[in-house]
Amino acid sequence: MRLDVIPAIRDLGEWLESAEVATIALNGGWELTLRDRLLFLLQERYPPLVAVSEWPVDGARADLALLRDGQPQLLVELKHNYCGQLTEITGAALTVWDKKPSEDLLPSPRKQRSGLENDLAKWSARNTSCPIQFVHLVTQVEALDDVGTRTFKYSNIERPDRTVQNLERIATYFREIQVRVGNPPVLRQYPELTFRAETTEPYCATCRLNIFVVDKNGA
């Protein structure tokens, strides 16, 4: 039986499109919130395996692990970014947005290595033969009213008119990583793992929650 975090994510579809998640996603990283939800669902989906969080692996800790007789059978790592962070639309970059094509604002190789690729390299070097799934959450703010713009911490980089065109390029980036590190050599379940959630008053915002899953087979 193949162990896979994706069915558990799908089970959370209704919750992932709730105002609760939209509010959390708009105010910071929500990977730990998702981790805690997935913990129970993985336990329910794969008995008699035991689902645990923060499992120690060769000097590090995996966000989630499925255990059989105390030994990990699957490790899951979660990471969150806003779309604007992955496209490096920082305060400085905003001043040159109209002077450069959007593709020039993708992360530099150094920035890529310091993010997801650094996590992949770190876990690939661990002394474990266990398969690993990297779940990368990319929040894309599609609409934001004036109140939200004034209160949203990342409104300077997460501009709805400036991030939507970059999402598919981010997906291409994940596909390239998958080809290098995993099997099968494709990014699985995108764009199927995309959810839209709207906040409620006092501000109104629409978030698109994009979930990318990269597989790394055990050594």
Q: In this predicted model, what pLDDT tens digit does every residue of 159-213 receive, in sequence order?
A: 666 555 567 777 777 777 666 665 544 455 556 788 999 988 777 888 889 888 8
Alpha helices in the chain (DSSP H): 6-11, 13-16, 19-26, 31-45, 83-86, 91-94, 109-114, 116-124, 146-151, 160-163, 167-181
Give the Cα separation of 146 and 144 in Å (integer).
7
The mean pLDDT of the chain is: 75
- pLDDT > 80? residue 121: no
Distance CA 10, CA 12 (A): 5
C-alpha to C-alpha distances, 36 to 44, 54, 63, 178, nearest whole angstrom: 13, 11, 9, 25
119 versus 207: the higher-pLDDT residue is 207
pTM: 0.80
For the ranges 54-63, 127-136, 143-152, 184-193, which has the lowest average pLDDT?
A: 184-193
| Distance, CA of 54 to CA of 75 (rounded, Å) | 10
Helix 116-124, helix 167-181: angle, nearest 10? 10
- Helices within 46-166 (DSSP H only): 83-86, 91-94, 109-114, 116-124, 146-151, 160-163
**185-188, Cβ contacts within 8 angstroms, sequence gap of 24 or more:** 187/212, 187/213, 187/214, 188/6, 188/213, 188/215
Q: Using the 8-state DSSP alphabet, how is residue 107 labeled?
A: P
pLDDT tops 60 at residue 67: yes
